[in-house]
Amino acid sequence: MDDRQLQTHKLETQWCRVCSRLKAEIGDSAYENWVKPLKVSQLEGSEVNLAVPSRFMRDWILANYLDRLRELWHGENAVVQSVALSIQPTTQPIKMVKDQEHGLKERVLATPAAKTAPVAKPSVWQSNGNIAAPLDQKFTFDQFVVGKPNEFAYAAARRVAEASSVSFNPLFLYGGVGLGKTHLMNAIAWEILERDPSRTVMYLSAEKFMYRFVRALREQNTVDFKEQFRSVDVLMIDDVQFIGGRDATQEEFFHSFNALVDQGRQIILSADKSPSDLEGVEERLKSRLNCGLVADIHATTYELRLAILETKAEKMAMDAPNKVLEFLAHKITANVRELEGALNRVAAHTQLVGRELTLETCHEVLHDLLRANDRRVTIEEIQKRVAEHFNIRIADMHSARRARSVARPRQVAMYLAKQLTSRSLPEIGRKFGGRDHTTVMHAVKKVDELRDIDSSFAEDVELLRRMLEG
């Protein structure tokens, strides 16, 4: 290892420790939402630089966690006196374009006129103080490909959009990232507005809801803030898993929610988990969320992926051989967003070089993406590796045995499952013999603690992690 690598390695290790301390202080969900997306970039003099994916996150971290981060880091490494945040949108070119789009758009949402309007210039889209986010013109029902994994959610969304009176309240859509939640919510909004342009529909992300609420609190004008919500016919809040853990925001959300339901207004929410599985959310809110219609979007199947690719390729008037589409549907399994990204990249490439689209081109253009998809670790793999490493039977990962010799490796496997996969705590629990999510939470905490006090244990875990990631 040369000096630079060593330096980076040290910094990473310090960061890991700072993270686990902070996580213990602020809780799992706040940690996942705000701290985990940060990346260490370098140590310059006495200042550590962290990369943060968006301006909004930077402001939030600045306001809430930065001081503590600095203290903790100083505790790990006395050289560090300050922590700086720089905005670095995600490195994947396709995603970046999307992020930029989202970053630029923010405007009043009241009529469907924008659907037919030409794409506005960034200045027009910029913030005018209104809280709603714009709808995406591409996200309509007719652009949504329906298959087994999403047919129920689709039917529920259609029903709510077409109903003349409130039928299910709230409609709660949930599923993993990139599976079409935002798409369906936008589609509902378009449909409602098309049927009756006089209705007011407000669509926004839960992050923005929280952010604005905290700001309103600070500026002491929560009355205006509340008014904005309570005067709409349809309120849509996307990604409500972000509301967990913030008591004041939850409180406000709960009251706005009840007020709207009492007035017979439609509420539509989305999250990456079911209401019962939301972390850091109060029971009374969970049970309110469960009262309406809860519809989940399952992971894509090969058939759905292929159908989506065929539809999109046709729309782009792209001359893609079946073999290529089948290959992509087979290989890019993570979610629809990645699938779309892959198709766009391949399309852009063939257009640029003006050559026929072949399997070889796919391999060439998508090598990074294909590798990432190959390398995605599964819980089963983690269980297998960890069992081998500690010399226990794989069956013990699922068994009820509590002897330390099997319980500890099981905890390590749960810990790694949490770190290396995007599975939620309840999902992980299910894969470990149907254990409760609190058991997984406990395992994660325990392993974190042990890593701090037992360096050989810490090395074991680190080794396993590298093996699984490599």
**CA-CA distances (angstroms) from residue 245 to 3, 33, 121, 236, 286?**
41, 10, 37, 20, 13
Residue 183 touching ligand ADP (CB under 6 A): yes
Contact in structure between 85 and 50 (CB atoms under 8 Å)? yes
Q: Which is nearer to ligand ADP, 89 or 178 (CB)?
A: 178
Q: Which is nearer to ligand ADP, 177 or 291 (CB)?
A: 177
Q: Which is nearer to Mg ion, 341 or 409 (CB)?
A: 341
Kindly report the number of other CB atoms within 10 A of residue 431's CB atom.
21
Work out which of 145, 156, 293, 392 binds ligand ADP, going by CB under 6 A: 145
Given ligand ADP, Mg ion, none, residue 180, with its beta carbon under 5 to 8 Å by kind, binds: ligand ADP
Structure tokens at 89: 């949108």
Work out which of 20, 182, 250, 256 binds Mg ion, going by CB under 5 A: 182
Consecutive H or E run containing 40: strand 39-44
Given ligand ADP, Mg ion, none, residue 89, with its beta carbon under 5 to 8 Å by kind, binds: none
Q: Which is nearer to Mg ion, 310 or 340 (CB)?
A: 340
Which residues, numbered 159-178, are part of the site for ligand ADP (CB under 6 A)? Answer: 175, 177-178
Work out which of 58, 181, 246, 437 binds ligand ADP, going by CB under 6 A: 181
Q: Is the preceding peptide bond at 170 cis, omega within 30 degrees of 0?
A: yes
Residue 292 touching ligand ADP (CB under 6 A): no
Residues with Cβ within 8 Å of residue 457, at least 6 apart in sequence? 450, 451
HSE toward the beta carbon, residue 391, CA cutoff 13 A: 1
Binding footprint of ligand ADP, residue count (CB under 6 A): 17
Assign 252 to helix, strand or coil: helix
Binding mask 105-144 for ligand ADP (x = CB under 6 A): ----------------------------------x---xx
Least Å from the CB of residue 185 to Mg ion: 8
Residue 340 touching ligand ADP (CB under 6 A): yes
Contact in structure between 11 and 40 (CB atoms under 8 Å)? yes
Residue 236 touching ligand ADP (CB under 6 A): no
Q: How far is residue 384's CA from residue 386's CA, in Å, rounded to a whole number?
A: 6
Work out which of 20, 29, 140, 150 binds ligand ADP, going by CB under 6 A: 150
Radius of gyration of the chain (CA): 24
Q: Which is nearer to Mg ion, 173 or 440 (CB)?
A: 173
Longest dimension (CA), the chain: 68
Q: Which is nearer to Mg ion, 85 or 278 (CB)?
A: 278
Assign 236 to helix, strand or coil: strand
Residue 336 touching ligand ADP (CB under 6 A): yes
Q: Which is nearer to ligand ADP, 261 or 369 (CB)?
A: 369
Helices (H) and strands (E) in the chain, counts: 23, 8
